[in-house]
Structure formats: structure tokens, C-alpha cells
Amino acid sequence: MKCTMYSPKRLLFTACLLAMTACLFFGCSGGGGGTPATGTLKVSLTDRFADQFAEVRITIRAIKVVPVGYDENADDDDPGLIDIPLSTEIRSFNVLDLAFVQHLLGTQVLPAGTYSQIRLILEPNADPLNPLNYVVLADDITHERIPLKTPSAQQSGLKVKGQFEVEAGAISAIALDFDPNTAIVERGNTQQNEKYILKPTGIRIVQTDPSLSGFGSISGTVSATFKDWSSATVAIKRRGAINDSAPIAVGSIFSSYTSGRWEAPFAAFVPPSTEPVYKAFISAPGFRLYSSPAVPVTQGETSSIGEVFLAPLP
């Protein structure tokens, strides 16, 4: 039997080669054998215009994310929920100041994979005369702060549904699109401090380009009049070199029954383009895939594709 002696340098090279091969086949995250792959998630807040209000203020205490398949009704202190540390000293926002602005709330390294919910945990309105979450009506010359009623938002948090991906070894970004027109509901025949309620269905998760700074949006309303739909996925793709293959923005929307139809508005944020290069693709279980005409997008403005009527599958 012949024995072969190896130099220390060759042994080191062989060990490195074996380690690289293992990474190719099993995935590496820099944390040692058996450590799950990780990615970085950036969470931002943005807003749509609202004519009814002069100010819509929320004060955020904490942010948590829920992995897909996990109990979406889990308690706030459940160890399966992942904290996103707030990266800004500013935790109180007039969301109307964030139209076409993405304010970074937090960044965190977390296991790569799919997530299905964001929890926005708000500070309580302990003092009705000095609320931390409130609205001011646009036509109110006294600028009265009307407290926002936020059920469970101080305990389990506003549960914002919508799947998004955290890619291994990369930076992934989501924007929480706060739509005051649907997030804030006026209740009749109630006391002033119970008049407006904040609903998480008016906040949508949109997965975006992590480097997106200046942007416009594509908006519309998805409807069906003769068949119920509960959720749909909206993907914005760029025509041209990538041949509509990779979404530049993607998010989930959830329907509500209004005036004889199931409907939900959406908005997606994309870099501006003077050419009509963006198309919206909308898919919902039991319905045909919808593909919009190509549209241009101007920075700081919305390009509307109007009302999209879903066609059921045969």
C-alpha cells in the first residue's frame, strides 16, 4: 500500500475545497454547520393620499414578523415571532407626510424563507386629552385630535397580512402601504373618542426593490361581482430585457364585500419611467390571471389602471 504525504498548505486547500462544496450542496450562512441560511429584511412605512384628514398619527412601539405556517393569532410574546428592532428614534408618524416616501422603520437579519404577517404594536392612548394615535379632520379649523380606536394594537398588534420573501444572503425590502381611506373607518352614533377605528386591512405589505428611493406607483381596484374572492396577488413586472419574468414589486390584497361586489384597492411602488414599461399581473384562486396594458410611471404620482374585474375560471 502506498501512502502519500500532504503539505500543510495542501491540506488547508483541500479543507477549503470541501467546505465550498458543502456550501454549494447544502447552503451556508456563515454560522457553522447546520445553521439555517439568513437574509436581511428592511421594513419601511409609506402612505397614500387622503382628502378627509389633515393628520393621521400613529406611534409605533414594536414590530414583529410571523413566518408562513406559524400561528398567525399567536400572542405577542410568542418566541416564534421575530422582532424587527426600530432603527429610528422617531416612532410617531403623521403618515400623510409619507406619500411617495418610504421611511425606514427597522432592519434585521433573520432566517431566509417566506413570511405571512407583520405586527405593528402601537403605544396606548393612555391620556384621551393627549392621544398618541389620532386623526385630525381636514375641515376642522380647531385642529382637534380625535383618538384612534385601535383594538388589540397595544397587545397583539395590528395584524397586517401578506406573504413576502426573505432571500438568503441578500437584502429584501417591504413597504407597509398605509391607506387612510380604508384603514380608518368612521363609526356612527358613538362618543368622539370612539368615533374612528384603525383596521389592519387598510395596511398592505408590498415587497419592493431594497434600493428604491424616488418612485411612483401603479394603483387600481380589483373587483368581482358574481363570485367571492378572499385574496389575490398583485405583481408588477417590467417589460423588455427581463421579458416579464421577475416582479419588481409584489404584494397580497384581501377583499371586502361592498355595494354588491367583493373588492380591494392596491398600490405598488416602482422606479419612474417615461416609457410604458410596467404591467400588473393579478392572480386569485379560481380566477383567470389578469394582465394589464403597459403603463408609464412618473415620480411622485400614481398611474391608475382603474377597476380590474376578475374573470372566473370555467
Q: For residue range 162-176, list pLDDT tens digits in order.
A: 999 999 999 999 999
Q: Is the pLDDT of residue 22 over 70?
A: no
Q: How confident is the model at residue 7 (pLDDT cuts 50, 70, 90)?
A: very low
pTM: 0.74
Which pLDDT tens digit goes with each residue over 129-143? 899 999 999 999 999
Q: Is the pLDDT of residue 24 over 50?
A: no
The Cα 93–Cα 203 span in angstroms is 15
Q: How confident is the model at residue 285 (pLDDT cuts 50, 70, 90)?
A: very high
Helix, strand, coil percentages for the chain (3-state, nearest 5): 10, 50, 40
The Cα 124–Cα 183 span in angstroms is 18
Which helix (H) or strand (E) covers residue 164, if one does?
strand 158-166
The Cα 225–Cα 221 span in angstroms is 13
pLDDT the model gives residue 25: 28
Q: Is the pLDDT of residue 212 over 80?
A: no
Q: Where are the alpha helices (H) located in the chain, listed in sequence order?
A: 8-26, 180-183
CATH 2.60.40.1120 residue ranges for the chain: 214-314
Q: Where are the alpha helices (H) located in 170-297, listed in sequence order?
A: 180-183
pLDDT the model gives residue 15: 38
- Counting residues of the chain whose pLDDT is more than 90, the rounded percentage is 44
Tell which wins on pLDDT, 311 or 19. Answer: 311
Look up the CATH number of domain 214-314: 2.60.40.1120
pLDDT the model gives residue 174: 93
CA nearest neighbour of 132 among 198, 203, 50, 183: 198
